[in-house]
Structure 1
C-alpha cells in the first residue's frame, strides 16, 4: 500500500431548499457533489504494530480508513442483551484467555465481567470493545472514534494499556481519532493526518509520559467508592489502615492493610487492593500495593494472598515479591487468632497464591505516615 486515489461522489437533488441555498451563498449549480483524496501510506517499508489516523472532524479519516482497510474496519459488535460480556467472545477462546485479554486492555474487574455489555459504563464498553476487536481480528483491527466517548484522563491511560497489549500480542492496530492528546500515550509507529495530507514514521521511540501518583492515608469509608469493583466480597475490616492513590486529583486505586497476629511470627497483610476501571491497565494498582508494602516492611513482614490472575502473574515475575505458596486451593480453616478477630478466610476453594514483600523499605515515608 503506497499511493491510493479515493473519490466519493453523490448526486445533488435540486429541491426548492437546495435551489434557495445556491442562491443565498452563490453556489454553482452542480449535478454531483465530489470529494477526493490522494493518500500515500508507505506501510510496507517498515514493520509496525500501531498506526494512528488523526485529524479534525470532517477531514476524511473514516472514509479513507474504510477504503484502505475494507475487511479490517470495526463497525460494531453484537452483544447479548442478558448474557455476560465474556459470552460475546469467540467460542474457541477459553475463559482464562478471555479474562487475560480483558485485563491486558485495562478492564480488570471480575464483578464487571459478569455483566451484560449495555449496563457497563462508557469507559468499560470502550475497553471491552477493544478487547473483542483484538480477539476477533488478530491480523489487523481498525477502530473508529477511538477514545471519543471517554474522559480525557481515561483516554490517555486506556491508550497506553491498549498499545502495550497490541505490541505484546504482536498484532496490528489502527486507531482513528480527532484527539491529539493520546499521541504520546498510544505511541504509534506511524501517524497520518488527512487534513494536511502528512504521513510520518516515528523512527525514534519516545517514552510515554509518566503517571504521577499522590498517595494519602484515608479513612476506611473511602472503600465505598471501590467496594463494588473488588473480585471477592465487599466487606472491609474495621481495623484496616487505608491508602488512596490519586491521579491528577482523582481517586484511582485503594489499598487496605490489617495486622495479622501470630504467636511466633506476627506480620502485616494486604487486605484489599482495587484499582478503578478507568485507571486500569498501566500498573497503578500494583504501584500502590508495592508502595504500601514498602512502608510496612520497615516494621514487620508484609504478606499478601491474591486470586487475581493478573496480580499473580505480575508478582511472580517481580523482584519485589517472593512467592511463598504457589497458586493452589486452600481449605477453609478457623484458627485461634482468626476466631479472636471474627475473621474467616475468604480464599477457601479458590485458586490463590501467597506472596511476601522482599523489596526495599521506605523508612522516611513510613515515618511520615506514622508507621514507625
Structure 2
C-alpha cells in the first residue's frame, strides 16, 4: 500500500513572505509531499503503529490508510452524564464495566464522574474503553499516549492491545513516543523518522516485570493507597499488610486478617495504582500472597485457604477463570436497606 500525501496552500507574495523566500531559498514552501510504503496488503493484522517525531506526517498518513476520519478519544462525551452511561448506552453493563477495567480504568469512582472532570490518564483510558466497546471495523487514533505519563502510557498500551485483540477490527495508532512499541506489540510499525516499515518479527519482546512482595505496617495503606480504594471502611482487625513493588516502586496493596472461626483467612483492601492497572498485576499479587498463607506461613502456622470478597465485575471474572480460585457464594444484587436496619 503506497500512500501519497500532498498538501498545498496559496503562494503568498507579501513583503515578509518574499523576504523569507529570498533569504532561505524557500520558493516552493506552499507544497508539502510525503510518500509512505506500508507493506500490509494481503496480511492479517489488528494493530498497526505509526511512530515518529512531530511534523513528520503521521496524521496525514493515518488519515489516508482507511480514508476515514481520525477517531477522537476525547470528543463526543456528554457533560452531564457519568462515563459509565456514555459508553455504549444500549450495550451490556458487564461489557462496559469489564472493558473499563480491561484498559486499566479500574477506579470505580471514576466511572461515576463526567468525562470532563477526569484526569488526563483517566480520560485517555475512558476513550480507549469507548473505542473497544464501539469496535469499528477501522479506527485511526492520533496522539496515542501523548498526554499521559510514560509509565501509564506503556501499561495502557499493553492493556489496550490485550483487549483489542480479543475482537475484530483494525486499529492504527499514531504516536511520537517509541517507548510504547515493545509494550504494544503491534503487527506492524512504520517509522516516519526513517521512512521504514517493519513487521512484528522485528520487534523486541515486551519487558518482563519482577514483582517484589513485602510485609509492611498498616500506616502504608492510608498514606499511599486509600485514595484509590472505593470503600471507606476502618482498617481490618489483626491484619497483616502487604505491598508489591516493581523496580522499587510500590504498585499494589493487600491486607490479610485471620478468620479462624471458619478455619480460613480473609483478604481485603486490594488496590492497584492506576498507572499499573490492566496488565494482571493485581491478580498475580493476590494469588501469591494467598499462597503464602496456604503454605502455613501465617499466624500460628495454619495452612488455611483465604476468602476474598469483591463486587468488581472484571475481578470477579478473572477469579472465576483462574484455577487457583473457587467461588463459594455470589450475591448479584443489594440488600433492602430498610429491612437490613430494622
Match of 2:40 among 43, 50, 60: 43
Indicate yes or no: 2:262 matched with 1:258.
no
Partner secondary structure for residue 144 of structure 2: coil
Aligned to 2:20: 21
Q: How does 1:65-76 map to 2 (within 5 A)?
A: 65-75=62-72, 76=74
Indicate yes or no: 2:185 matched with 1:201.
no
Q: How does 1:80-119 map to 2 (within 5 A)?
A: 80-119=78-117
Partner secondary structure for residue 83 of structure 1: coil
Q: Equivalents in 1 of 2:107, 2:26: separation in Å?
A: 57
Which structure 1 segments of 5+ residues have no match? 333-347, 349-372
| Aligned residues of 1:134 and 1:141 also touching (Cα < 8 A) | no
Indicate yes or no: 2:276 matched with 1:279.
yes
Q: How does 1:51-70 map to 2 (within 5 A)?
A: 51-70=48-67
Q: 1:15 to 1:244 in 2, by over 3 A?
A: farther
Q: Which structure has the higher relative contact order (CA within 8 Å, separation 6+)?
A: 2
Aligned to 1:211: 209
| Aligned residues of 1:85 and 1:114 also touching (Cα < 8 A) | yes
User: Displacement, 1:325?
Assistant: 2.4
Which deviates further from its counterpart, 51-60 or 191-200? 191-200
Compute the TM-score of the two structures, normalised by the length of structure 1.
Answer: 0.81
Q: Equivalents in 1 of 2:268, 2:24: separation in Å?
A: 72
Q: Equivalents in 1 of 2:40, 2:26: separation in Å?
A: 39
Aligned to 1:294: 291
Alignment root-mean-square deviation, CA = 2.2
Aligned to 1:313: 317
Which structure 2 segments of 5+ residues have no match? 297-303
Compute the TM-score of the two structures, normalised by the length of structure 2.
Answer: 0.88
| Aligned residues of 1:242 and 1:254 also touching (Cα < 8 A) | yes
Q: Equivalents in 2 of 1:211, 1:228: separation in Å?
A: 25
| Aligned residues of 1:54 and 1:191 also touching (Cα < 8 A) | yes
Q: Equivalents in 2 of 1:144, 1:234: separation in Å?
A: 41
Partner secondary structure for residue 74 of structure 1: coil
Aligned to 2:241: 242
Match of 1:160 among 153, 158, 161: 158
Which deviates further from its counterpart, 275-284 or 127-136? 127-136
Match of 1:222 among 220, 223, 226: 220
| Aligned residues of 1:220 and 1:242 also touching (Cα < 8 A) | yes
| Aligned residues of 2:88 and 2:96 also touching (Cα < 8 A) | no
Q: 1:249 to 1:151 in 2, by over 3 A?
A: farther
Q: Equivalents in 2 of 1:205, 1:182: separation in Å?
A: 11
Q: 1:285 to 1:191 in 2, by over 3 A?
A: same
Q: Equivalents in 2 of 1:214, 1:37: separation in Å?
A: 48
Q: Equivalents in 2 of 1:325, 1:206: separation in Å?
A: 43
Indicate yes or no: 2:125 matched with 1:121.
no
Q: Equivalents in 1 of 2:7, 2:233: separation in Å?
A: 55
Indicate yes or no: 2:242 matched with 1:270.
no
User: Displacement, 1:306?
Assistant: 1.7
Q: How many residues align?
A: 328
Bigger helix share? 2
Bigger strand share? 1
Q: 1:195 to 1:235 in 2, by over 3 A?
A: same
Partner secondary structure for residue 100 of structure 1: helix
Aligned to 2:299: none
